[in-house]
A and B are shown apart, each in its own frame.
Chain A
Amino acid sequence: MKHLRQVVLALLVMATGAAIGAAASVNVTSTTLGVATATVPRCTASGLSVLQNLSAGTVTSVTVGVLPAACGGAILQVTVNNGVTSASGSAAVPGGGGSVTVALGSTPAVTAVEQTDLVLVGP
């Protein structure tokens, strides 16, 4: 009988301990969370040649050269801004690179404050 009481007491202690352990835990769920960062690469860090093609005092097109093969397939966009107006055009870079002549949508007059901007999108 004494032994039985000890067993019952031990079981009670174990049950109490289990209950305390359960009370210390919490339930948690989570929504999804995805994060990613990528670099935006450049197909070239080298200098490119830029040549304005003129006609009767206006810029009709721009030739961009020294394009490496890594830029092949990119879209080259060029804008000439003469301080009064701007004209833009775009062309695809050949697979092997090289040079590309971009025809402008209009022909801005040649001025002393012209600025030529270009961007390569892709490949």
Chain B
Amino acid sequence: MTRIVGAVLAGLMTFGLVFGLAASLNLTSDGLGSATTVVAACQSGTLNATYTSTYTAAAPGPGYTVGTVTISGLASTCYSKPYKVTLATAAGASLGEATGTTPSSGTTIVVTFAPVVSAASVTAISVVISG
């Protein structure tokens, strides 16, 4: 009799454990699709930035500041696309950002920074053209 009761208890414990494990897993899945495509730049030619410096008595002066950056070398494949230009320090800290749309003709982008940026601090420039 004791053995029968023991067997029943053992069976209940085993199935209980199995049911317990089964109850602990709920799994759903969203869809998963994958594909690969190339993200290309709109041109491979080199862009060149030149700076227009102006003396500013007010902050961030007194001193020379950069208010306009002219980027030349724009190819027609980059026409009418959004751009962002950032002037930064050597440590990578942004001094100013300017955004706009590249022109639909010509080879230059004239970028205006407002407020102007301290010329002495500018040691890096970044350009992003997307679209």
Contacts and interface: CB of A to CB of B under 8 A. Distances in A.
Interface of A: 24-40, 42, 77, 79, 81, 86, 88, 115, 117-119, 121-122
A30 B38 contact: yes
A40 B125 contact: yes
Nearest to B82: A31
Interface stretch (B7-15, B29-37, B103-111): B29-37
Given A25-B33, A27-B35, A119-B64, A38 B125 contact: yes
17 contacts: A30-B37, A33-B128, A33-B130, A34-B41, A34-B128, A36-B127, A37-B124, A37-B126, A38-B49, A38-B124, A40-B124, A81-B62, A117-B61, A119-B64, A121-B52, A121-B53, A122-B50
Contacts of B130: 31-34
A32 B41 contact: yes
Q: Which of A24, A29, A117, A121 has the most CB of B within 10 A?
A: A117
Contacts, number: 95
A77 B131 contact: no
Interface in B37-81: 37-43, 47, 49-53, 55, 57, 61-64, 78, 81
B93 to A, nearest CB: 13
Given A24-B34, A34-B78, A117 B123 contact: no
Contacts of B128: 33-35
Give the secondary structure class of A's interface. Answer: strand
A35 B127 contact: yes
6 closest cross-chain pairs (CB), A and B: A34-B41, A26-B33, A119-B64, A79-B55, A32-B42, A28-B35
Q: Which of A34, A37, A81 has the most CB of B within 10 A?
A: A34
B98 interface: no
